[in-house]
Structure 1
């Protein structure tokens, strides 16, 4: 009986040792799997952040090109506005001269000639008014283009802020990966 009891105890110890070894092996395997999964997840996150940064950089470049074009258009518009202002001044001076001429002619010439001259002057004034209306329409279009450019500048500023935040996140994740490997 003593021998049987000893044998049973020895078998129990062996079984316990085997179970402990198996548990340790399983734990090590699980730890390795978890480490691999964490590394893969971190790598995927970094890749996604890099792709987002690249996309934002492309968008910023496109917007910069658009802004440059719009700035050129604004310069051209300013030049046109200056030209229009000069033309308007010249037209005002011409109108004043015409009025003076009308007064002089009214005093000097008979009624028929006065009527003919008045018709001609009315036609000239109508043409000048049409030109003024066209210039006013051009000025309105220029103002609309300037508003659009301001909106695009605000969008670009928002994209730049998002890009800065994503760079900070990427740096933090890279630091976390280095600490984990150490």
Structure 2
């Protein structure tokens, strides 16, 4: 059993071990990319809050939020063209942090603005569901 079969099994296990090593490398790269975008987006939150406080006097916050969402979505599409597996995982994190940003913005704003932003937040959750379905299909 061990004499002839071991060679044929070794060929299969070599391919399987290569696949396992590649998967492990992808997981490590994804974990490293998780830490990096959190730090970068944490700096972005500070900058966006400052801009929103200035625009709170002008009452243009809703338009500013829509522009942020569009810019981030275009950036995600550009990442999908480069590497699909690693950067789909980054998209999930970016979406979660967008939700946190919206919650912080609602806390700073007036009650009338909060009602309008909750509608935008529901639309944002629908976009998340569509992107997650695309990941499952791939």
Give the TM-score range, shorter chain: 0.3 to 0.5
Q: Which has the higher contact order (CA 8 A, sep 6+)?
A: 1
Structure 2 length-normalised TM: 0.43
Structure 1 length-normalised TM: 0.34
